[in-house]
Amino acid sequence: SPKACIFDLDGVIVDTVPAHYTAWKAMADEVGVAFDEKENENLKGVSRFDSMKHILSLGNIEKTDEEIQAFTEKKNAIYVDIISSMTPADILPGVVEFIDKLKANGIAIAIGSASKNTPTILKCVGLEKVFKVIVDGNQITNSKPDPEVFLKGAAQLGVEPKECVVLEDAISGVKAAKSGGMKCIGVGHPDVLSEADIVVNDLTNVDIDFLKALYSNEEL
Ligand code: G6P
Ligand code: MG
């Protein structure tokens, strides 16, 4: 079995996707760009600044870096306001049980997220003491699909990339895991996450045997 699991945060551990969408939709409306949930898939795993740039590019709109920065601050204020009322009830199905199984089997766990709000979110849902290693948007320079966030996680855990399984709901995150040489379980829809090794709806049926099956033809 693998030595570690690295979890994305938004959309894998906590249900923050609707909050991100609501806040980005408000910014898209403000600049007059059409934006829907399908387009939102392209923003998952992407930093705040690059997300705003993406929205502007959809409308061929030019803004200075300072203006983009101001939009991201506005977006984040809306977002933080929504997520500040999150509780442990917002942890996604199967997550707590899966983490318990990993701990019982000596498999290390880390967070690999692009979000600068990671510490706030983990605190809101009561998971701030659960992860041995947390790599988030405050510590990385290259956004997913660059593998930096996951490679840093593996290094801090002291394991090889190939000994890690990444859990991801974002197209960019799956690409990051695969280009980093890791196994990847996509959490979401198979049509969206086609580059993952396997795709699940949520973590309810993911267990140690499921992880082992990812390595069925390999020596670890
Ligand atoms: C995650 C989310 C993205 C978000 C990014 C940065 O990857 O999937 O939607 O833009 O984190 O989050 P932040 O909380 O720092 O704005
Ligand atoms: Mg995510």
- Residue to substitute in 46, 71, 123, 124 for testing ligand 1 pocket (most ligand atoms within 8 angstroms of CB): 46
**Residue 168 among known ligand-binding residues:** yes
Q: Which atom of ligand 1 is nearest to the CA of 9?
A: 1
pLDDT tens readout for residues 68-119 = 999 999 999 999 999 999 999 999 999 999 999 999 999 999 999 999 999 9
**Residue 57 among known ligand-binding residues:** no
Question: Are 147 and 176 spatial neighbours (Cβ–Cβ below 8 Å)?
Answer: yes
Give me ligand 2 centre to Cα 13, in Å: 8
**Average pLDDT for residues 199-217, to the nearest whole number?**
95
CA atoms within 13 A on the CB side of 140: 27
User: Residues with beta carbon inside 6 Å of ligand 1?
Assistant: 10, 20, 43-48, 51, 76, 113-117, 137, 170
Question: Are 172 and 192 spatial neighbours (Cβ–Cβ below 8 Å)?
Answer: no
| Confidence at residue 220, expressed as pLDDT on a 0 to 100 scale | 63
Burial (CB count within 10 angstroms: exposed 0-12, middle 13-18, buried 19+), residue 177: buried
- Residue to substitute in 8, 44, 169 for testing ligand 1 pocket (most ligand atoms within 8 angstroms of CB): 44
The residues carrying an active-site annotation are 8, 10
DSSP state of 161: G
Where does the pLDDT of residue 216 fall: very low under 50, low under 70, confident under 90, or very high at 90 and above? confident
pLDDT beyond 80 at 217: no
Neighbours of 119 (CB within 10 A): 13
pLDDT tens readout for residues 17-74 = 999 999 999 999 999 999 999 999 999 999 999 999 999 999 999 999 999 999 999 9
Question: Are 182 and 165 spatial neighbours (Cβ–Cβ below 8 Å)?
Answer: yes
Burial (CB count within 10 angstroms: exposed 0-12, middle 13-18, buried 19+), residue 9: buried
pLDDT beyond 70 at 179: yes
Sequence letter at residue 21: Y
